[in-house]
Amino acid sequence: MDRSKLYRRFRTLLIANRGEIACRVIRTVRAMGLRTVAVYSEADRDAMHVALADEAVLLGPARARDSYLNAERLIEAARKTGAEAIHPGYGFLSENAEFAQACFDAGLVFVGPTAAMMTAMGSKSGSKALMEKAGVPLVPGYHGEAQDDATLAKAAEKVGFPILVKASAGGGGRGMRIVRSADELAPAIVSAKREAKAAFGDDRMLIEKYVDNPRHIEVQVIGDSHGNLLSLFERECTLQRRHQKVIEEAPSPTLNAAQRDTVCAAARKAAGAVNYVGAGTIEFVSDGKDVFFIEMNTRLQVEHPVTELITGIDLVEWQLRVAFGEALPLKQDEIKLNGHAVEARVYAENPTRNFMPSVGKISTWRLPSETGGLRIDSGYREGDTVSPYYDAMLAKMIAWAPTRDVAIERLNRGLEESDVRGIVTNIPFLSALMTHPKVRANAIDTGFIERELAVLTQPTPAPSELELCAAVAAVINSERQAAKAEANSPWQTFGWMPVGRRQRNFAFRAGHGVHHGPEQKITLNYGSGPSTLVIGERELAFAVATRDGGFDLTLDGVKTSVAAVIDGHELYLRTRNGRFDLHLVDPFGGETEEQAGADKIAAPLPGTVVAVLAEEGAKLEKGAPILTLEVMKMEQTLRAPYAGVLKSIKCKVGDIVQEGVELAVVEPSGE
């Protein structure tokens, strides 16, 4: 293969991705003086990455397979715009050897490894065989070509339960299932294959021994076309949920200096087995004593910023320099470890509803400034819409500090100062995770989140006196801001009255919606003289001063900062006590909102029916699976809300259903 065609200097780069990774790549590319081309689907016409790029090309409909996964359209977009190179980001086609080869055949530089390297290392099965030959320690398992049910079942029996059924292609927890007994194996394989096919276009599976209480450690590597191959220290990615990383940090707090040297040397050996060129990650699992190779990701990782912060290296810049055909600018002994970095993934999802993805328009987007060791990689802005067609990640928040404890504190402060509304996010969950004493003590494994889920998703405490006063202040402050639109309005001054004093009564309920919590009442006294708030028998002096993103509330001489968002009768408050959702009771009545019944078997979000798991007329126990939807690239199984008979199924496999549409009816047994 002609090296001058593989690696050469270019001036225009097409980013074959979307969201935060597209925005992150664009920023480095533009800083290097290169032109950028974005691609987008019909659902992403107004997306942030489209606005940031010099040019943008429409690929097609919203579904990824019709747009971001369409290799021919991506290459045609490069031709239209004069792009000489393509950066795949992560996910989508980033580890697709056929796409890498198609780029080469079209005369484009692919910013990543060659198709041959990707084939050798991108397949979990293929890479295990290669590592076995190279003498890299492996988790016991099966990674053969035969994929029939009998072969997989025999392999599982030989390895011994519990096992891990895992997609050979891709990553991110897609197509992965823990199987603890033989009778769970067949349905797990069917489900994992279906999910893997939808996410990666490849449903091949491998079987691994499941390591109980494991830790996930990975090493960043990068190689150039001159034979240089470097490791950039390791990351700890043990805090996971459903095999999806939630928190990542570098370096690993689990390894000592000798262990660090050993695992990094093993990673270089693994990548050297294919003379690897480009950025990649060698992933290991540890049982507390030994470290086993599990796979290589032949691309940039979501968590690459923590490595950048502890090394001072821009990995995207190094990717591009490698693609130019340049030698890496540093030698192994010149790469220094500095401090500690921690990253949290901010998702549009509801942790209190089994992490159900959340879609809709972002009405408020307030993230702290990138100062004091804080970095934010984002793909969204206020006013953007989160669609159901793609991964639900909104942003990554990364904190650096000289020590792990301070980095965690900085990250948590950044999370506490973040307000994203219009959709539900996992920000409170992330904050609870970072403040958990066992996380601080590094007493964790990959099952930690599942075990501690009840603690990490505790309901918001009832609003205290402070929150009720803050709620009144938020309403008053909002009215005052609206009055500023009217020139010379006396209501611009809080509490203005021509003479005398008046009262105004407020009532709030905890939570959003009219059916949440009992009413809590508070009275505002205002007019001539100081304004006061009365709660029960207590009367407090009260003042409000507006500031950016909220206001300062002073109660009996104590000032506190409050962040507030008001949407109709719904209030969101952030005080020193945490985050609170409140409902302002309509003083004129008329609140006839009805809650959707918990017994309704309906689509929680727009999605595609991928499996019907029960037949009409079947007798069902409470919790029995009825059908499976694919929502935001993840499968959601809808289950019987009570024991009964499946009266009807109102959909079929392949149907695209909208949020709230009833999909099945269960007639209760009366027990």
Which residues are identified as catalytic?
299
**β-sheet bridge partners, residue 560:** 553
Burial class (CB in 10 A: 0-12, 13-18, 19+), 435: middle
Do 109 and 6 meet the contact criterion of CB atoms below 8 Å apart?
A: yes
Largest CA distance in the chain: 90
283 alpha carbon, distance to own chain's centre = 20
Q: Helix 71-81 and helix 97-105: axis angle, to 10°? A: 30
Q: Which of 363, 367, 364, 344 is nearest to 429 (CA)?
A: 344
Secondary structure (3-state) at 348: coil
Residues with Cβ < 8 Å from 37, sequence gap 6 or more?
Answer: 12, 13, 14, 15, 53, 54, 55, 56, 57, 77, 78, 81, 83
Residues with Cβ < 8 Å from 213, sequence gap 6 or more?
Answer: 287, 288, 445, 446, 447
- Please tell me what DSSP assigns to residue 460: P
- Exposure class string for 525-556: b at 16+ Cβ within 10 A, else e: bbeeeebbbbbeeeebebbbeeeebbbebbbe
Distance in angstroms (rounded) separating the CA atoms of residues 619 and 581: 40
| Single-letter code of the amino acid located at 319 | Q
- Exposure class string for 169-190: b at 16+ Cβ within 10 A, else e: bbbbbbbbbbbeeeebbeebbe
Do 104 and 234 meet the contact criterion of CB atoms below 8 Å apart?
A: no
Residue labelled with tokens 């999370």: 415
Distance in angstroms (rounded) separating the CA atoms of residues 385 and 363: 9
Distance in angstroms (rounded) separating the CA atoms of residues 617 and 394: 42
For residue 602, which phi and psi values (nearest 5 degrees)?
-130, 160
Distance in angstroms (rounded) separating the CA atoms of residues 92 and 59: 14
Distance in angstroms (rounded) separating the CA atoms of residues 610 and 432: 34
Provide the 10 A C-beta neighbour count for residue 441.
9
Distance in angstroms (rounded) separating the CA atoms of residues 633 and 575: 35
Torsion of Cα atoms, 150 then 153 then 155 then 159, to 10°: -170
Distance in angstroms (rounded) separating the CA atoms of residues 244 and 596: 30
- Please tell me what DSSP assigns to residue 138: B
Do 184 and 192 meet the contact criterion of CB atoms below 8 Å apart?
A: no
Q: Quick one: tokens of 444?
A: 């964790």
Do 317 and 222 meet the contact criterion of CB atoms below 8 Å apart?
A: no
For residue 438, which phi and psi values (nearest 5 degrees)?
-75, -30
410 alpha carbon, distance to own chain's centre = 20
Does residue 251 have a cis peptide bond before it, meaning omega lies within 30 degrees of 0? yes
Q: Quick one: tokens of 363?
A: 């009405």
**β-sheet bridge partners, residue 350:** 356
